[in-house]
Structure 1
Amino acid sequence: MTAAVMTDRPAAYTPSANYQLSAAGLLHSEWTKLWSLRSTWIVLLCAALFGAGIGVATAATYSEGLGGIMNALDYTLFGVSLSAAFIAVLGVLTVTGEYSTGSIRSTMSAAPKRLGVLWAKAFVFAAVVAVLYAAVVFATFFVTQGLLSGTDLGGMSLSDDGVMRVLLGHVASTVYLGLLGVGIGAILRNSAGGIGFYVGAIMVLPNLATLLPWSWVADVVPYTPGNVAGTLTMLDTAGASLSLGASWLWMGVWLAIAFGLAGVLLKRRDV
């Protein structure tokens, strides 16, 4: 009798390959999770309003005197560069939000290999940011250059040399910083810690380091994660510390380090 009862018991559950999410399923899952969070809408709205708002406000209130000193593109798009901090914070929250609620356990149960979840999060996040910031950057450009067209600073057009490269560079640099936030969030798995690390180590520390009395610090700072994308947003790159090629190379290096470490820890640590 005992043997019969034991035989009839269901075996311990083992996830079947038939019930594991495919790559398309992971992407759909991450898309749903990203847009179901209220923080996604709030942060993206703040980033768009902040980036475009500063540019439009500065162009609308411009007074004569800067013509020949700086170009109209750099003058109106610096708000877009500042708003990238919102995107980096959202990148952190995209990962750490699941750890704070414990829903990461369900995610990893559906994708036991784990790494697919990280790549899906990164891909969906990058795609959303790229589309949003392309709209923000180009809308800001057209509005602000129209406002400046009658001033001594002069408006610029897409056909001007280097303009398209700079506009796309703003989009690329924002996507890069956002993905850096995703990597940091996956490494630290804590919202406050991830945001604090990004603000302190990525944004603030390199700038404070230039105050140190060592000459070699100034040579190192351009290669720090938060600064390597700067050349992409410059119309005149003659005085840039890094060339355009070097900027792309170091962006790839830092993302490889961040996601490589995140992937290793994701595989080794308990959920």
Structure 2
Amino acid sequence: MSTAITNSSSDATDSTPGGTPVRPSTATPKKVTQARVVLSEWTKLRSLRSTGFSMLAAVVFILGLAVLVPSVTVAHWPPHDAREAAGFDPTSRSLAGIFLAQLAVGVLGVLLITGEYATGMIRATLAAVPSRLPVLWAKAVVFALVTLVVTVPSVLAAFLVGQSILKGKNLQAGLGDPGVLRAVLGAALYLTVVGVLGLGLGALLRNTAGAISALFGVLFVLPIIVRFLPTSWSDPIDTYLPSTVGEGVMHVHTDPAALGPWAGFGLFCGYAAVVLLLAAVRLRRRDA
């Protein structure tokens, strides 16, 4: 009887109420790899409503001002100031929307990481990826690629639209002109690095308001403060400011006293990389 009870108990354990045998699960958890973390971050990014809104705002700024600024230019051409006519840059008139688009892209970069800290979702993310750093690298890679995919066609379209309007006064430039293609593609690269910089500040400060304030302070407030310094101080400092070196790649006519377009852009990337590295150190040493 003891044997019968044992066998009956075993059968009850290994079968469902309907009598179907239940086999022990042989599935093994998948190894956490950088590629899988990147795929996870891509899923998060495209599922956020703020992603669509921010990217749409950036595109609207880029294209909207590519119509508005050249239209105003044509309507008031020639200018009363001869120096303005001599220094006229048709490419920059088409890319005027970049300076508003960077607000949308930079804020989205901040929200991409601080939103997880605000909701507590970051704990689940780091529990799934105990080594932590792959999460930060994946966010940076995914966001940079998405930003490039959105902004490259946007700036090309903005340039073509703007030049078609400027053609009414024979003021247009072509992509084959010296420095023009570099300036147009440089605008997309600049926006990408601004977004990564925002992401790095968000990961470092872990606070939405603080990170956005820091980003705007670096890009907009700091240059204004520097201008109030004595010229002997302001000129050398301004040469190496993040906004100055980053925007240089978008200028067709460069300042001989400033860093070259690609050298300046490389320094701008370096600033973003330093912020990301500081964020990585804090991510490894501090709990979420």
Per the normalisation by structure 1, the TM-score is 0.88
Is 1:231–1:240's contact at 8 Å kept on the other side of the alignment?
no
Secondary structure in 1 matching 2:97: helix
State the SS of the aligned residue for 1:21.
coil
Shift of the 251–190 alpha-carbon distance from structure 1 to 2, 3 Å rule, reads same
In 1, the alpha carbon distance for the partners of 2:263 and 2:87 equals: 27
Name the amino acid aligned to 1:36.
S
From the superposition, tell whether residues 253 and 211 of structure 1 become closer, same or farther in structure 2 (CA, over 3 Å): same
1:245 Cα shift? 3.8
1:42 aligns with 2:42: no
* The 10-residue stretch of structure 1 (206-215 or 160-169) with the greater mean CA deviation from structure 2: 206-215
- Asked if 1 retains the 8 angstrom alpha-carbon contact of 2:218 and 2:242, the reply is no
Aligned to 1:206: 223
Query: Who is 1:85 aligned against?
Result: 103
The equivalent of 1:144 in structure 2 is 162
Pairwise CA distance, 1:225: 2.3
CA drift of 1:18 comes to: 4.0
Q: Does 1:263 align with 2:273?
A: no
Measure, in 1, the Cα distance between the counterparts of 2:47 and 2:161: 32
- C-alpha contact (below 8 Å) 1:20/1:110 kept by paired residues: no
Counterpart position of 1:158 = 175
d(CA) in 1 for partners of 2:134, 2:256:
41
Provide the rounded CA distance (Å) in 2 between the counterparts of 1:160 and 1:252: 26
- Give structure 1 stretches of 5+ with no counterpart: 1-16
Deviation at 1:214, TM superposition (A): 5.8
Conservation of the 8 A alpha-carbon contact between 1:92 and 1:185: yes
Question: Who is 2:36 aligned against?
Answer: 25
- SS where residue 157 of structure 1 aligns? coil
Q: How does 1:1-271 map to 2 (within 5 A)?
A: 18-61=29-72, 62-63=74-75, 64-66=77-79, 67-152=85-170, 154-213=171-230, 215-239=232-256, 241-271=258-288
Equivalent pairs counted in the alignment come to 254
Alignment partners' CA distance in 1, 2:255 and 2:231? 25
The CA distance in 1 between the partners of 2:207 and 2:185, in whole Å, is: 32
| In 2, Cα distance between equivalents of 1:202 and 1:80 | 13
Q: 1:205: how far off?
A: 2.0
- Does the 8 A contact of 2:58 with 2:104 survive in 1? yes
User: Are the aligned partners of 1:185 and 1:191 in contact in 2 as well (CA < 8 Å)?
Assistant: yes
SS in 1 for 2:96: helix
C-alpha deviation, 1:131, in angstroms: 0.9
Shift in CA distance, 245/158, structure 1 to aligned 2, threshold 3 Å: closer
Structure 1 position 19, deviation (Å)? 4.1
State the structure with more CA Rg.
2
What's the CA shift string for 1:67-102, capped at 9, x where partnerless? 543021112212223311211111111110110111
Q: Classify 1:53/1:71 alpha carbon distance in 2 versus 1 (closer, same or farther; 3 Å).
A: same
How big is the shift at 1:190? 0.8
1:19 and 1:110 in contact (8 A); partners too? no
1:120 maps to amino acid: A
Do 2:245 and 2:261's aligned partners in 1 also have CA atoms closer than 8 Å? no
Residue 201 to residue 249, structure 1, CA distance change in 2 (3 Å)? closer
The aligned amino acid for 2:103 is A
Residue type at the aligned position of 2:155: V
Equivalent-residue separation in structure 2 for 1:41 and 1:178 (angstroms)? 15
Q: Which moved more, 1:160-169 or 1:233-242?
A: 233-242
Judged with a 3 Å threshold, the aligned counterparts in structure 2 of structure 1 residues 222 and 18 are, in CA distance, closer, same or farther, namely farther
Q: Percent identity?
A: 39
Partner Cα distance (2:216, 2:31) in 1: 37
CA contact (8 A) 2:248 2:265 kept: no
Q: CA deviation at 1:239?
A: 4.1
Name the SS of the counterpart of 1:158 in structure 2: coil
Q: Which secondary structure does the structure 1 equivalent of 2:173 belong to?
A: coil
Deviation at 1:177, TM superposition (A): 1.0
